[in-house]
Structure formats: structure tokens, C-alpha cells
């Protein structure tokens, strides 16, 4: 899904003074009640998950497109980075209209990426390094070249017809197809209905025309996807990330969607020149929950000695509040996702201390015993430099972002190249665009090519990605921003990521301690404390401004008195902070210290 799929997010104000007081008074008792060390079964509770866009990670056969053997080749790099699992965007056979999200066969590997034997080798080699493989699961739609749809469009009486969403047009006659059934729009521009001349009906497509929507009111579709999940779980995958899961169901009455208006009452217009609709009839999230309870129950059948280590289900979901996010875990006795994505934190898209504090507090107190999954980036959004950077101190700002990601409670997900500071590099001209979104929406919408450029391994002509011509050009920034250049630099962003991930895995408080916000009136510095029973507390302070800041956390953290600090991590070149009452931070500076 694209960035435009995100609905506006409302900052939820929370009273956190009581939480701080409770943390001060109990000094670990609350942490003891709320936390436990992750076991092999619950490996995902403090997991570091790395998203790989296979087309762009590593090419081994010189065709300019990344492949599975390329991922296998780089597993040692991922192990050294500290990754627990890799999420692969779709590598199933596909016409590649949506670069893999238009799937024509769910039980094979696309020829661009290799063979099933290559996939099995990847899973085996990753397992040797204690890295799990998570597949993308696309259940909203298939390719129009999938065998199911080819059958469905062959005739109205075909058994597969009801696997998809078909409907007559408005005012249709024997010679006139008339208008689409309603005003629903594709997320990629224009009507969500496509006329099929042979069978003289419209089919629904929430995304591209070549991605017809499946009919989830048909039990046969449920059975098919449970069989697909079984196929991959038997091959050793650790779980699935479910794409666009909120769009499975549409209004059966086919009512028009409402038009979103600005404060003056005028309709909002999108990049495609069309009115923005409210999604109220095409995102029926409530109907999705029973489906995911069913899918979770199927995945849980593999949690046996024959398939050690629990399988994890991850949701791509954009919610407007913490209550809706909490529902994604499922009600008592009917679990759904272990890790729905908490996009409320990472997609604030500006360094706003109050907003981050509110959303992190939401994740701490609004999810009960459930584990947050924090992320800032993915293959559908501009990279961190464009959304958070200022063009001058981007590396320092990315240290700030990484610290929030890895030093907060829960699992962490990040996108390939974030660890070296890869930059968004959008096409300069329309003829260079590969992403159909950009082709359709240019120049207001330039597409997603800019965040999908090849991984930058070294400073060579094609950044070590391929010996051929890369499918997308390597940015000029690769000359200095690359793995080889940063591996030996103690002050590099890559070194920072490795250090943070190592702390997340080895420091008891950072591994599974509670989060308590500190210095909560400060609008320039975000500070919090991690506490776990039987371990020293850890404080984290990140400066969201370009000016030096000094903070006093002594009273907030552990009550009055002098508390010494042991530095665990700090911005390169910064001075050590020796006590809680005077933590000094440079511009966009970071300090992580253990309370002695």
C-alpha cells in the first residue's frame, strides 16, 4: 500500500504523571508484573526484523534484478547486523505490474528471483545463522493472470466466478455497459471497477486494474489461503506479513463512499485529479477480524515440536487510534496478529516531541500485555531522509530515529538501507519512472521508485549490487553512503545501528523493560526510562532540535538524589553524562545510560 493509504492520525493526549509516579514508587515492581524474558516460542517479542525488497537487494546473475541467491549471499552481513528475521516482499510468480504484489501463483518462486530450490537453500542457510524468513501474504487480490481469475472471467457460470467481486453496471443493457456500480476508486487512480467485455460485468479492483479483488464472503477462498499458508509453513517459513489486510471486505450493498472535504467544504483532490473518498465502504475492518482468527488458528497448528518456534503473523495496518490497533491482536481466546504494525509512531513524519511522547505512551499503556511492533519506513514511502531529515544533519537525525526504534519496548522493523542512511532518489523525468503509480500520477505523484533503488554495498559503479544494468539506477550518493565505507568507521550510522541492536539484545532493561516517559513538559527533548525487574534502569534522551540541550531527569526517574550514570551509547564525539541531573545533548544528540 502507498503512503496515501494512511488516514490522518489524531494525537491522543494521555496523562502520564501517574505512570511516572508508579514507576518511581515501585522501582521495578511494575516491570516485574509486566515483563518476561522472551523464550524460543515467543522469539518475536523483542525481535529485530529487516524488510528486504528482493528486486533491489543483491543480484547474482547479472540481469540487474536482485534474487534469492543474492539474499543468501548477504546473510552473514545480516547476522552481524543483529537481525532475527527477514521479511521478503512478494517473490511469487507475477507479471510484475505491481512488482510482485500482483500474484499469479502463490506456491512457487518467480523466475526473476530464482527457483524453489534457491528458496529452500535461503531458508536453510538463514536458519543456520538463527535468522527466520517471513513471507508476504497478499489476500485482498490476485493477478488477473492467476488461474483462478482466468477461470472466473471465462464465463458467469464458471465455479471460480464467485471467487471474485463482480457486479452489473448501472443501467446496463444488452448493447450498453453503462456506468460502474458506484463511485469507488482504486488507490492507484480512477474507478475501482473494470468492465469485462466477454462476460459483460464489472469486477472490483481496489488497486491496479490487473489486481482483481477476491471475494472473502466465499468460504472456498478461506480454504485456499489456509492451504497456501500450509504450503510455505511446511517449507520452514517463520510466518507472514499480511498486506493491505484492512481492504478484504467491501460493502455488499455497494453504497457510494463519502467525499472528503476541506475546511471550506470543498472536495479534496488527489494526485490523479480525482475527489478523495473516505474509504468507509471499502475498508470494512470489522469483517476482517474473524478471517484473521481463522488464519491464526491455522498457523498455530504448526507450533509443535515438528516445527519448533512459534509462527508470527504481522499486519500491515494504518489505524487512527490505539484502540483500533489493540483490536488487531484479537479478543481473549481468539488471537489474530502477534505484531500489527504500530504506524502511529513511525509515520508521524516530523520530529515532534509531544506527538512521539503521546504515541509511545499509547503503545505502553494501551496495548495491555501485547507487544508493539514499531517501524519508521517501508517500500511504499519515501525514505527517512525525505520524511525526517533536514538535508544538513540527516545522519544525526537518523540516529535519533533509530534510537526511538530500537530503544523502545517491543519488536522493531526496519527497511533495507536504513542502516547506512540511503536517500530517497526519485526519478527526475517521467520517462525514467518504472512504478505505474508515478507514470499515472506524474508530476504530483512520482511513484515509489525513489525508495526502492538498489542496496548500496560499496562505492563501485553499481554499488556492488549487480554486474549488469540495475533495474533502477544507483543514486550518486552511493559513492559515500555504502556498507563498505561505513563498516570500518566507528562513527558511522551502520556502526550506530549495530550498537543499538546489540544493546536491545543484551541489556536486560532494553530487552524487555517497561517504558516510562520522563521530563514530560519538555518540547525539545524526548526522554524515557526502561525498567526490568532485577536490572538497573536505563534512561534514553534524544534531542529533536538543531540546538544543544541539557536535561535533568533525576527527580522524574528515580526520585530526589544524585544518581550516577554509566554511558551505554552516545552520539559520536559527545561528552559522557555522569549523572541524571545534567545530561548534555548536542544538536540532534542522543544519550543512553544505565543508572548506577
Q: Which of 294, 349, 380, 458 is catalytic?
A: 294
- DSSP annotation of 551: E
Q: Which of 331, 312, 252 is nearest to 284 (CA)?
A: 252
- DSSP annotation of 179: B
**Which element (helix H / strand E) includes 558?**
helix 554-558
User: Which residue intervals of 194-307 are DSSP H helices?
Assistant: 219-233, 285-300
* Residues 305-342 as b or e (16 or more Cβ within 10 Å = b): eeeebbbbbbbbbbbeebeebbbbbbeeeebbbbbbbb
Residues counted in the chain: 596
Contact 512, 36 (CB under 8 A): yes
Contact 361, 520 (CB under 8 A): no
User: Which residue intervals of 68-196 are DSSP H helices?
Assistant: 68-73, 75-81, 116-128, 147-152
CA distance 243 to 229: 14
CA distance 347 to 356: 10
CA 128 to chain centre: 26
CA distance 263 to 224: 46
User: Which residue intervals of 334-489 are DSSP H helices?
Assistant: 343-346, 353-365, 384-388, 394-407, 436-441, 483-487
Q: Would you state the cell numbers that stand for residue 142, as one nine-digit string? A: 490476485
Phi, then psi, of 340 in degrees rounded to 5? -70, 140
CA atoms within 13 A on the CB side of 564: 2
Q: Would you state the cell numbers that stand for residue 455, as one nine-digit string? A: 542496496
Note if 243 is an active site residue. Answer: yes
CA distance 350 to 371: 24
Q: Which of 243, 419, 451, 581 is catalytic?
A: 243
CA distance 142 to 106: 9
Q: Known catalytic residues? A: 243, 294
Amino acid at each position: 500500500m502507498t503512503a496515501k493509504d494512511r488516514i490522518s492520525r489524531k494525537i491522543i493526549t494521555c496523562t502520564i504523571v501517574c505512570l511516572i509516579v508508579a514507576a518511581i514508587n515501585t522501582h521495578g515492581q511494575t516491570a516485574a508484573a509486566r515483563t518476561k524474558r522472551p523464550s524460543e516460542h515467543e522469539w518475536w517479542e523483542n525481535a529485530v526484523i529487516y524488510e528486504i525488497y528482493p528486486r533491489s537487494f543483491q543480484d547474482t546473475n547479472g540481469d540487474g534484478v536482485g534474487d534469492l541467491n543474492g539474499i543468501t549471499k548477504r546473510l552473514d552481513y545480516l547476522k552481524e547486523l543483529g537481525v532475527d528475521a527477514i521479511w521478503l516482499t512478494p517473490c511469487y510468480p507475477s507479471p510484475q505490474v505491481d512488482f510482485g504484489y500482483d500474484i499469479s501463483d502463490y506456491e512457487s518462486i518467480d523466475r526473476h528471483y530464482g527457483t524453489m530450490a534457491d528458496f529452500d537453500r535461503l531458508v536453510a542457510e538463514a536458519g543456520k545463522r538463527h535468522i527466520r524468513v517471513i513471507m508476504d501474504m497478499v489476500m485482498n487480490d490476485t493477478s488477473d493472470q492467476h488461474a483462478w481469475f482466468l477461470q472466473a472471467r471465462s464465463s458467469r457460470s464458471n465455479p471460480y466466478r464467485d471467487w471474485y467481486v463482480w457486479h452489473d453496471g448501472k443501467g446496463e443493457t444488452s448493447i450498453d455497459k453503462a456506468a460502474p456500480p458506484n463511485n469507488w476508486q482504486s488507490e492507484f487512480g480512477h474507478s475501482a471497477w473494470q468492465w469485462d467485455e466477454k462476460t459483460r460485468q464489472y469486477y472490483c479492483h481496489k488497486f491496479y486494474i490487473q489486481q482483481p479483488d477476491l471475494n472473502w464472503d466465499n468460504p472456498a477462498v478461506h480454504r485456499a489461503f489456509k492451504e497456501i499458508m500450509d504450503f510455505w509453513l511446511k517449507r520452514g517459513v517463520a510466518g507472514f506479513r499480511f498486506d493491505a489486510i484492512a481492504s478484504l471486505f467491501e460493502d455488499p450493498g455497494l453504497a457510494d463512499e463519502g467525499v472528503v472535504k476541506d475546511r471550506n467544504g470543498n472536495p479534496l483532490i488527489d494526485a490523479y485529479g480525482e475527489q478523495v473518498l473516505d474509504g468507509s465502504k471499502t475498508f470494512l475492518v470489522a469483517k476482517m477480524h474473524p478471517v484473521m482468527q481463522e488464519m491464526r488458528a491455522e498457523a498455530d497448528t504448526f507450533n509443535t515440536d515438528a516445527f519448533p518456534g512459534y509462527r508470527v503473523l504481522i499486519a500491515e495496518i494504518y489505524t487512527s487510534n490505539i484502540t483500533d490497533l489493540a483490536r488487531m491482536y484479537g479478543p481473549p481466546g481468539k488471537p489474530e496478529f502477534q505484531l500489527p504494525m504500530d504506524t502511529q509512531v513511525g509515520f508521524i513524519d516530523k520530529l515532534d516531541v509531544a506527538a512521539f511522547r503521546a504515541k509511545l505512551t499509547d503503545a505502553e499503556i494501551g496495548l495491555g500485555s501485547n507487544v508493539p511492533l514499531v517501524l519508521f519506513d517501508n517500500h511504499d514511502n519515501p525514505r527517512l531522509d525525505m520524511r525526517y531529515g533536514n538535508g544538513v544533519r540527516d545522519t544525526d537525525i537518523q540516529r535519533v530515529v533509530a534510537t526511538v526504534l530500537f530503544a523502545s519496548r517491543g519488536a522493531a522493523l526496519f527497511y533495507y538501507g536504513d542502516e547506512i542512511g540511503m536517500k530517497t532518489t526519485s526519478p527526475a523525468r517521467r520517462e525514467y519512472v518504472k512504478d505505474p503509480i508515478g507514470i499515472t500520477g506524474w508530476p504530483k505523484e512520482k511513484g515509489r521508485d525513489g525508495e526502492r533503488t538498489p542496496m548500496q554495498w560499496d562505492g563501485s559503479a553499481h554499488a556492488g549490487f549487480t554486474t549488469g544494468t540495475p533495474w533502477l539506477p544507483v543514486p550518486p550518493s552511493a559513492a559515500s553512503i555504502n556498507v563498505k565505507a561505513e563498516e570500518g568507521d566507528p562513527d558511522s550510522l551502520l556502526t550506530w545501528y549495530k550498537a543499538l541492536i546489540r544493546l536491545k539484545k543484551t541489556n536486560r532493561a532494553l530487552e524487555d523493560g517497561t517504558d516510562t516517559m520522563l521530563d514530560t513538559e519538555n518540547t525539545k527533548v524526548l526522554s524515557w526510562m526502561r525498567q526490568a525487574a532485577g536490572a538497573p534502569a536505563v534512561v534514553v534522551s534524544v534531542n529533536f532540535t538543531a540546538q544543544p540541550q541539557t536535561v535533568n531527569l533525576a527527580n522524574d526517574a528515580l526520585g530526589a538524589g544524585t544518581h550516577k550514570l554509566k554511558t551505554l551509547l552516545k552520539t559520536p564525539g559527545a561528552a559522557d553524562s555522569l549523572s541524571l541531573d545534567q545530561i548534555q545533548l548536542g544538536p540532534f544528540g542522543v544519550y543512553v545510560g544505565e543508572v548506577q
